Amino acid sequence: MALEMRQRQSLKLVQQLVMTPQLQQAIKLLQLSRMEMVETVQQEMMENPVLEEIQESEGPEEVGGIDKVDDDISMSSVAENDPVTDIDWGTFLESYYYSYDGDYYQRQDEEEADFESYTSKKTTLQEHLIWQLRMSNFTFEEEQVGTYIIGNLDEDGYLRISMEEIGRETDTEEEFVEKTLKKVQNFDPVGVAARDLKECLLIQVHHWGLNKSLVEKIILDHFELMEKKDPKLIAKATKSTEEEALEALKFILGMEPKPGRAFSDERAQYIIPDIYVHKVGDEYVVVLNEDGLPKLRVSNYYRQLLQGKGKTGDLTKGYVQEKLRSAVWLIKSIHQRQRTIYKVTKSIVKFQNEFFDKGVEYLKPLALKDVAQDIEMHESTVSRVTNNKYVHTPQGIYELKFFFNSRVGTTSGGEIAAESVKQKINQIIAGEDSEKPYSDQEITRTLREMGVDIARRTVTKYRESMNVLSSTKRRKYF
């Protein structure tokens, strides 16, 4: 029996969401940080000749006469073949260059100079070591291997690759690599080029001439006891007195576990808030920070070309129309981004009003859905706009995401924000006896006495998220 194959045509109606390039651009701008936003705008200005930045020194007449555009000039040719048809291009061109619609405040402070840009470059760990290598009596082969070793040190000064790999890459025997490594380990800073913490500390021990001392014995044979910081245990294990163990432990804890730290080129990362919250009278006012963000407009020259005030061919006009459409959408997306940040922040202020008055302990549980419903936007939009955005408040600078907290139950049947619980944990630990720090179980018990219904494992999770050590590692004997 033969099977008959035929081609058929059928009509099917399907509804699906289509992401236009303009919508994709708006979503992308929404989730950018302030620095990324500035970089994106500057890149667009380089690629699109229609875009210009409005200078602060320009008056209304210098802006290019856009406010005097005749009402009867139609911009419909720009929107031709554009899937988005709800924009009045003519009206938009007349008004887009103004700050916004007046529905929120703007910050007008002058931008301060970054004096750090004038400072000299700091010497790196690798440069410091290579200089010593050149000044040392190394053979050509040793210098080659030594250079490879130095080039593979991490920022803390540790060597994280094996002797076998170095030997293979430099075409030398492992024994020769080991010998060269020992010479590099004599360089400054003391302890550099170690393969682990134990070796780093032993290098420092030998540098200070403490070979065969109690300090060396503890590091070599009882390294795991150092974490407990208990001189009684160390004294028992090393058959020494408690006073001797205490002195040795003090010396070890005073060593440098990260030799490369002094050469770290990390600079302090200064956070520039996207928005400010000021208290005026009895109310909080939300103010957008516009400092450093370029204010854009369409070039008057290209606008006149498009309006037929110059001799242009169809090809040129088509190019200008495409660039104009792109420019207008960018400006519209930037304005929408700023409005959304403003609306989200204003909603947060409404929900977290007690926090702005009294601090973190009064932070309330808040979900994305709560703010999304309040400002009539989708949760995903709120999530994007809170990403890498910072707000300056009377209580300090916080990321917008900070105000969204999970709920922790109270013994009275109410709810408290997770951040408030973390604050209470910090306060409990700050008031503990350093010789007898609280265990997680004891912190849990104290929190329950304060009215917080919480499990021990949750306390452990919160403590670790705050990078607070366990009670064993927090204990101090001196």
Domains and CATH numbers, the chain: 21-108+293-331 (no CATH), 125-263 (no CATH), 406-478 (1.10.10.60)
CA pair distance 296, 352, nearest whole angstrom: 34
Taking residues 2-21, what's their average pLDDT?
A: 67
Report the SS3 class of residue 427.
helix
Q: Evaluate if residue 115 carries a pLDDT over 60.
A: no
Lowest mean pLDDT among 126-130, 256-260, 328-332: 328-332
Under a CB-based contact definition with an 8 Å cutoff, are residues 425 and 466 in contact? yes
Q: Is the pLDDT of residue 73 over 70?
A: no
> What is residue 477's DSSP assignment?
-
Give which of 52, 54, 26 is closest to 329, Cα–Cα.
Answer: 26
Q: Is pLDDT above 80 for 20?
A: no
Q: What is the DSSP string of 223-287?
A: HHHHTTT-HHHHHHHHT--HHHHHHHHHHHHTS-S-GGGGG----------SEEEEEETTEEEEE
Nearest-CA neighbor of 173 among 140, 147, 142, 194?
A: 142
The CA distance from 387 to 384, in Å, is 5
Rounded Cα–Cα distance for residues 441 and 210 (Å): 41
Q: How confident is the model over 367-414, as pLDDT tens digits? A: 989 999 999 988 888 888 888 899 999 999 999 999 988 888 888 888
Cα angle, residue 362 at apex, residues 444 and 338 outer, rounded to 5°: 125
CA 342 – CA 331 distance, rounded (Å) = 17
Q: Give the pLDDT of residue 83.
A: 39
The string of pLDDT tens digits covering residues 347-359 is: 999 999 999 998 8
The Cα 126–Cα 407 span in angstroms is 48
Cα 460 to the center of its chain, rounded Å: 25
Q: What SS3 class is residue 136?
A: coil
- Give the per-residue pLDDT at 140: 92
Q: How confident is the model at residue 77 (pLDDT cuts 50, 70, 90)?
A: very low
DSSP calls for 28-45: HHHH--HHHHHHHHHHHH
419, with CB counted inside 10 A (0-12, 13-18, 19+), is buried
Residue with tokens 């690599």: 177
Point out the least confidently predicted range of 48-52, 76-80, 351-355, 417-421.
76-80
Tokens 């304060």 correspond to 450
Q: For the stretch 92-102, what's the b/e string if a residue is b when 16 or more beta carbons lie within 10 angstroms of its beta carbon? A: ebbebbbeeee
* 469/431 Cα distance (integer angstroms): 15
Pairing of strands 415-417, 407-409: antiparallel
Predicted confidence (pLDDT) at residue 36 exceeds the cutoff of 50: yes
Band the pLDDT of 326: cuts 50, 70, 90. confident
Model confidence, pTM: 0.60
Portion of the chain with pLDDT greater than 90, in percent? 36
Provide the greatest CA pair distance for the chain. 99
For residue 166, is pLDDT > 60? yes
**Residues 188-238: pLDDT tens digits?**
999 999 999 999 999 999 999 999 999 999 999 998 888 777 888 889 999
Q: What is the pLDDT of residues 410-432, one digit of tens each?
A: 888 888 888 889 989 999 998 89
pLDDT at 187: 95
Helix residue ranges per DSSP H, 48-102: 76-79, 89-95
pLDDT at 84: 40
Digit-coded pLDDT (tens) for 310-324: 555 667 777 878 888
pLDDT surpasses 70 at 107: no
